[in-house]
Structure 1
């Protein structure tokens, strides 16, 4: 692994968490470098935002491929060409296949807007309000074949306040997402870098 882990961020929309990762990676002390932003949607606003921040950004339009396997093959080829070491999902709306996830085991992260294992899947803020929970939040986790079920890296909690609607609750959670996702990526990148350094010392070429 390089001194700063080469990281690709996958998005489908505005990419607000991507922006938080890019901003954090501006620090020379940050253990990951955002080398590319990829989207499955050519019209994703986050692509322009990434370019404005000085990060390469491209689309791999899922509609251009006959199925998931072909799309993922194109995605995999682009990651390999970029020499990616870590993949971060940031509002990426494609469910990746078990075989793809397995190839990136321990190196693919996701941010989910709930306190996993509670409220897997979509519409978490509305569901939290319907359940009447006192606390809500967000989770950074490793991606596995089972949706929103991988090992947890970091979580942040927010109170559910009287009068909250889904929009207000989502905004409160999003602020925490922007805080913990960069911290989690930094920790994972440092851990992977340290592991590779130890391996290199034990097995010099």
Structure 2
């Protein structure tokens, strides 16, 4: 594909999950170190992306304070993050037709790398791949990836016709670049799934703040 300036790549924050392990509600609205997780995610990605949108279902007004466009899944029954990615690719195709690549990131990952977009894009180009995914500690994080907008119809078919739910099953169909990050002093892809994770995130936030000084 044509080389893209990483600074011109927009991002979607995926907040469409049901947070069952936390008893429901919006995980990104939980507070860590006096700031919501979503605030932290936006602060990490805003300097890296040309713009950000938020994928969330339900009443979008609850996110109004963040000033981001909020888009809902277009595939019913909460089929998972692939539905949010598809909604984002469709939104950018309709509203920013010049956009070729979109970053996706989980809205409950408060410590995302500050070089996320640049390194994923470099891996995509260097490996002549169609998609690029982040990894750490030997594990890939397929929710945090670069996606080609021109693959959205193939993704729609996988979701609607094939009832596909797992991201790695879909990415396995394409040339996939994987870019790994170190996990010291903390794993940048730590995500808060449970209340115990929130407590651990408080500890990591102090480490992260110390490392930034």
The TM-score range, normalised by the shorter chain, is 0.3 to 0.5
When Rg is computed on C-alpha atoms for both structures, the one with the higher figure is 1
TM-score (ref. length: structure 1): 0.41
Highest relative contact order (Cα 8 Å, sep 6+), 1 or 2?
2
TM-score (ref. length: structure 2): 0.40
